[in-house]
Amino acid sequence: MDLQEIFNTTVLGIRLGSAVSFIVKCLLIYAFTQALVSLVKYLFRRHIQRKSKGGVDQSNLSFFQHIIVYTIYIVGITAFLALIPGMEQISKSILAGAGIMAMAVGLASQEALKNIVSGMFIAFSKPFRIGDYIEVDQSIKGTVTEITLRHTVIKNMENRMVIVPNSTMNTASIVNSTISDQAVCAFIEVGVSYTTDLDKAIRLMRSEIMKHPLLIDRRSEEEKKRGDEQVVIRVTNLGDSSITLKAWAWAASSGNAFAMKCDLLKSIKECYDREKIEIPYPYFNQIIMKE
């Protein structure tokens, strides 16, 4: 029996040659699709590596990479379905109920389409980019690591990945600490008792802040010539049991500002303890009545 006769053999109503041809075509479509996806990812990765020193915006590249990859997969699936015999008859049945299916698909994909459109707005308007440190609705803080078709990935301070839908990101209030000037002002508040010498407390507080290595000077040349203080400290509140002193101290980034504030709260408290300056705290006296 030659090769032609083998291919003409029928098993369960299916010609062996047709089955082999179908399998080969499916494998070719799969291999071509995977090769094209790998090529696209390689080209995007290579472009990012080449332009990394020039400050390339990875947000747009990542977003459009996902679009191209998904498009390639859709074309591959379509080519595979075209190989299945009888799809013409199935297509006619699908077209007969196109109205109902369109409505069902529209309702089912409403949220997904909203996320995709929101992702496109984010990619073009650039309220934030990959690598930016942002705060979303005063609840989520972290660095943007990825912007996909449907969601934005944020790595928070605990090294956890927070997945936020693009539709939420598009309507949320976002504080971007990376755009333009990255310097951050840390507000340091300390309460002192009403019997405290305020001038002395302010002088000691400023001295502790000035010694911190993360402090930066944000004064203009004109302010320096006038002799304005590098660290501004003011009385901001006369409370029930304490007077609030508030200092404005600048750091180069939000991370440095947080670390500096934590360090200074500790060092100022220790300095006030040495100088016998009271930091009031709530307390009460309990009187025990004896019979």
pLDDT digits (tens, 9 = 90+) for 156-204: 888 889 888 888 888 888 888 777 677 888 899 999 999 999 999 999 9
What is the Cα–Cα distance from 232 to 84, expressed in whole angstroms?
A: 76
Domain CATH for 220: 3.30.70.100
Cβ-based burial of 114 (10 A; exposed 0-12, middle 13-18, buried ≥19): middle
Q: How many domains does the chain have?
A: 3
What is the Cα–Cα distance from 189 to 99, expressed in whole angstroms?
A: 64
Mean pLDDT of the region 211-226: 89
Mean pLDDT of the region 38-52: 74
In a domain, 112, yes or no: no
In the chain, the amino acid numbered 212 is H
- Final residue of a domain: which of 61, 96, 131? 96
Domain co-membership, 227 together with 267: yes
Sign of CA dihedral 213, 218, 219, 220: positive
Q: Is the pLDDT of residue 235 over 90?
A: yes
- The per-residue DSSP string of 114-129 comes to HHHHHHHHHHHH-SS-
Q: How far is CA 50 from the centre of its chain?
A: 24
Which structural domain range is residue 128 located in? 117-176
Q: Which residue has the tokens 């080449």?
A: 50
Mean pLDDT of the region 31-57: 73
Cβ-based burial of 282 (10 A; exposed 0-12, middle 13-18, buried ≥19): exposed
| pTM given for the model | 0.51
Domain co-membership, 7 together with 67: yes
Distances (CA, A) of 4 to 7, 8, 14, 15: 5, 6, 15, 12
In a domain, 111, yes or no: no
The answer to whether 244 and 190 have CB atoms below 8 angstroms apart is yes
Q: Which residue has the higher pLDDT, 78 or 229?
A: 229
What is the Cα–Cα distance from 175 to 28, expressed in whole angstroms?
A: 49
Domain co-membership, 25 together with 89: yes
Average pLDDT of the chain is: 78
Q: Is the pLDDT of residue 280 over 70?
A: yes
In a domain, 81, yes or no: yes
Domain co-membership, 270 together with 243: yes
Domain CATH for 126: 2.30.30.60
For the chain, give the percent of residues with pLDDT over 90.
23
What is the Cα–Cα distance from 262 to 141, expressed in whole angstroms?
A: 18
The answer to whether 241 and 195 have CB atoms below 8 angstroms apart is no
In a domain, 215, yes or no: yes
Mean pLDDT of the region 110-137: 77
In a domain, 33, yes or no: yes
Q: Which residue has the tokens 């590596």?
A: 49
How confident is the model at residue 232, as a pLDDT?
92
- Final residue of a domain: which of 96, 127, 155? 96
Domain co-membership, 15 together with 35: yes
How confident is the model at residue 11, as a pLDDT?
54
What is the Cα–Cα distance from 122 to 153, expressed in whole angstroms?
A: 13
In a domain, 235, yes or no: yes
Q: Is the pLDDT of residue 106 over 70?
A: no
Cβ-based burial of 205 (10 A; exposed 0-12, middle 13-18, buried ≥19): buried
Q: Which of 126-130, 151-155, 172-176, 285-289 has the highest mean pLDDT?
A: 151-155
